[in-house]
């Protein structure tokens, strides 16, 4: 059974960089043909796919966030990470990491709330 767990600060100051890590167990980030993804959900709102990293290391980002997003992978730790720069209050959300079979997330982390506030 694949499990994912997000970790990182729950509070980030405006203009700083949000950094989250997703630790994967029960599966490998370097095997198969999955899209290791970050998806977020502002409080009380819908879902937004931030981007993903493929097992080969290639990435794809939502154009609305592309200038601020970096997703990377550390195969030695079986983790992948999200960095979102120059955050504002609009970036306050629950951030989920997920494994997607192509574009269908089948395993999700529990989600972590990140609040942007001074």
Partner 1 sequence: EIVMTQSPATLSVSPGERATLSCRASQSVSSNLAWYQQKPGQAPRLLIYGASTRATGIPARFSGSGSGTEFTLTISSLQSEDFAVYYCQQYNNWPITFGQGTRLEIK
| Interface with partner 1 (CB under 8 A) | 45-49, 60, 62-64, 96, 98, 102-106, 108-111
Q: Are 59 and 81 in contact (CB under 8 A)?
A: no
For partner 1, which is the closer residue by CB, 13 or 106? Answer: 106
Cα 99 to Cα 44, 45, 56: the distances in Å are 23, 22, 14
For partner 1, which is the closer residue by CB, 10 or 63? Answer: 63
Closest CB 103 distance from partner 1, rounded Å: 4
Cα 53 to Cα 22, 38, 44, 63: the distances in Å are 12, 9, 27, 15
For partner 1, which is the closer residue by CB, 55 or 107? Answer: 107
Closest CB 76 distance from partner 1, rounded Å: 26
Cα 19 to Cα 34, 53, 71, 104: the distances in Å are 22, 16, 10, 24
Closest CB 52 distance from partner 1, rounded Å: 9
């Amino acid at each position: 059974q694949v499990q994912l767990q997000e970790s990182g600060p729950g509070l980030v100051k405006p203009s700083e960089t949000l950094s989250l890590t997703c630790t994967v167990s029960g599966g490998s980030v370097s095997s198969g043909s999955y899209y290791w993804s970050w998806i977020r959900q502002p409080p009380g709102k819908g879902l937004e796919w931030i981007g993903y990293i493929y097992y080969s290391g290639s990435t794809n980002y939502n154009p609305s966030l592309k200038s601020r997003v970096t997703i990377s992978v550390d195969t030695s730790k079986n983790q992948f990470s999200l960095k979102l720069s120059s955050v504002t209050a609009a970036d306050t959300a629950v951030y989920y990491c997920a494994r997607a079979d192509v574009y269908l997330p089948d395993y999700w982390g529990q989600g972590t709330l990140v609040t942007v506030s001074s």
